[in-house]
Amino acid sequence: MDGLEADWGDQVQVVRINIHDETAEGLKTRLDFEFSPTFILFDGAGNEVWRERGSLDPDAVKQEVSAFQ
């Protein structure tokens, strides 16, 4: 994720949430987190358009993000 974030610069906003922190409990439920790590891509309107659990394939993420640029 660090590499992708560096590549995108300010074109894409990356938000990291520690779902094991008690302050994230409501968000964990709302976003249906069941496994860590979970990566979720939202479009500009806040709709979930992609989700991956476990390891991250940077090429798959780039492909998904490019559909919105």
Q: What is the pLDDT along the chain (69 residues), one digit of tens a residue?
A: 888 889 888 888 888 888 888 888 888 888 888 888 889 999 889 999 899 999 888 898 888 888 876
* Domain assignment of residue 69, yes or no: no
* Domain assignment of residue 22, yes or no: yes
Give the 3-state secondary structure of residue 3: helix
Model confidence pTM above 0.85: no
* Domain assignment of residue 35, yes or no: yes
Task: Report the domain count for the chain.
Answer: 1
Q: What pLDDT does 5 receive?
A: 87
Q: What range defines the domain where residue 37 resides?
A: 2-58
* Domain assignment of residue 20, yes or no: yes
* Domain assignment of residue 44, yes or no: yes
